[in-house]
Amino acid sequence: MPMPMPHKDEDHDGFMERCHSEMSKEMPEQGQRNAVCQKQWEENHAEARAAMPMPMPDEEHGDYMKRCMADHAEGECEKKWQHKALNVGRLREAFAARNQGLPKSEAIPLPEGLHLYPNVLQAVYGQPWAILPSMYATICSLVAFRASGGRLTAEEIKERIGASRVRAGAARSGSIAVLPLYGVLAQHMDMMTAMSGGTSTDRAGAAIQGALNDPSISAIVLDIDSPGGSVYGVQEMHDLIMGGRGRKPIVAVANSMAASAAYWIASAADEIVVTPGGEVGSIGVVAAHEDVSKLEEAMGIKHTLVSHGDNKVLGNSFEALSDMARGELQKRVTQYGHMFEAAVAKGRGVSAGHVRSEFGQGLMFGADEAVKRGLADTVGTLQSTIERLAGVKSQGGARADSSMAEIEALQFRPRSLRIKA
């Protein structure tokens, strides 16, 4: 197979993505493929030949210096290499801290060859997340790797985030609408969709609204397999589902995970079902601040921010987090945390204090424990839930003439019965 060549108007990222895709079958090892594609770019693109080459993943210092010094001064090449070394070292320390105390099976591996780009990481660090902490660390790892110019195939991304399911659109089973909520949740999803196969809450909300308005739909099932995601857009989706109660049954199925923001959404449904091997919970919010001041000092770089407004640059990444900035960040996290708890309390028919005392404050629960604590209503499968709503016998019997009695019982189940004495 001929090697891919850069097109005349193709930029580096576009070429690398195309090259990785075209060479994936012939050269399955990602590191080797990255090196070959990078070499093709540098040798065949005039703009690339004039630019300072980046150290490639797993490239030794001597090999990089030889390659770089073909077109650039030794001092410039050494500075670029040291830039990489500082960034990788710093990321190793950060991920070692994140993994401290975790079992080896849950530790998040640091990809090789990372270079830190704070402006890209800020897109992750600059907002509160309602997500499993381990997935949050994985997202940071993937974003950093992408920012460094690294490329992963769809299969490699799925392996890193543990995404075993293929994204699917809304489906129907008779008159039952089945709407998937898979992967990392975000409001608009531009970047995270490409990286994780996640779900846009905006799009999912529109699908729910469409199903509510469709007279041919008798019930809605939310097929959920998600670790959570950004807090943005989640409360709006919760309110939409709560507003749909009484119009037609809405059942959330944790198939097999409804964590954090995903559980926030699920709690608005008339009923929550957990698969026998499933989990729900992780009620809490997390945010992080990235301080790159020491790294910039070591690199001989200093950013000076000019602003209007006393607090405009509070909590920026170019200085250590001040007590005031930490306090403000904590206020935002607490605000969303209280919003999360209040939403769950409303959806489950309990008090916010009950949510804090009984729902784990960040813990995940298996199916039986979740039902016992009131986070879920019953243990079952997606298929059995669809059959029940459609009035089909579990042994494959014929569709019942009418399932309205069961539907009405589901719609108007009193939530107050969940409050424990």
Q: Per residue in 366-400, pLDDT tens?
A: 999 999 999 999 999 999 999 999 885 444 444 43
Rounded mean pLDDT for each run of 10 residues along the chain, 421 residues in total: 73 77 77 78 61 64 81 76 58 60 63 43 74 82 60 60 53 83 82 63 93 95 95 96 96 96 98 98 90 70 85 85 91 96 98 96 96 97 94 46 37 34 27
Q: For CATH 3.90.226.10, list the domain ranges present in the chain.
A: 171-286+334-418
In b/e form, how buried is each residue of 378-401, taking b as 16+ CB within 10 angstroms?
Answer: ebbbbebbbbbbbbbeeeeeeeee
Alpha-carbon distance of 414 to 409, in angstroms, equals 9
Which tokens hold the place of 166? 């293929």
Of 133, 155, 123, nearest in space to 228 by CA: 133
As to burial, measured by CB atoms within 10 angstroms (0-12 exposed, 13-18 middle, 19+ buried), residue 226 is buried
User: Quick one: 171-286+334-418 is in which CATH superfamily?
Assistant: 2-enoyl-CoA Hydratase; Chain A, domain 1 (3.90.226.10)
Tell me how far apart the alpha carbons of residues 9 and 6 are, in angstroms, rounded to a whole number: 8
Residue 340: per-residue pLDDT: 98
Residue 77 is predicted with a pLDDT of 79
Cβ atoms of residues 337 and 350 within 8 Å: no
- Decide: 346 and 242 in contact? Cβ < 8 Å: yes
Beta strand segments in 176-317, E: 176-182, 185-186, 199-200, 219-226, 228-230, 250-259, 271-274, 279-281
Closest CA to 146 of 316, 11, 16: 16
> d(Cα 322, Cα 100) in Å, to the nearest integer?
25
Whole-number Å distance between alpha carbons of 11 and 189: 23
> How far apart (Å, rounded) are the C-alpha atoms in residues 331 and 325?
10
- pLDDT, residue 285, reads 96
The reported pLDDT for the residue numbered 407 is 34
Please choose, from the candidates 243, 221, 232, the residue with its C-alpha nearest in 3D space to the C-alpha of residue 383.
Answer: 221
Beta bridge partners of 176: 173, 219
Instruction: Please identify which residue in the block is written with the tokens 């005039």.
Output: 46
C-beta separation of 229 from 200 below 8 A: no
Is the model's pTM score more than 0.75?
no
At residue 223, the pLDDT reads 96
Q: How far apart are CA 152 and CA 17, in angstroms?
A: 9
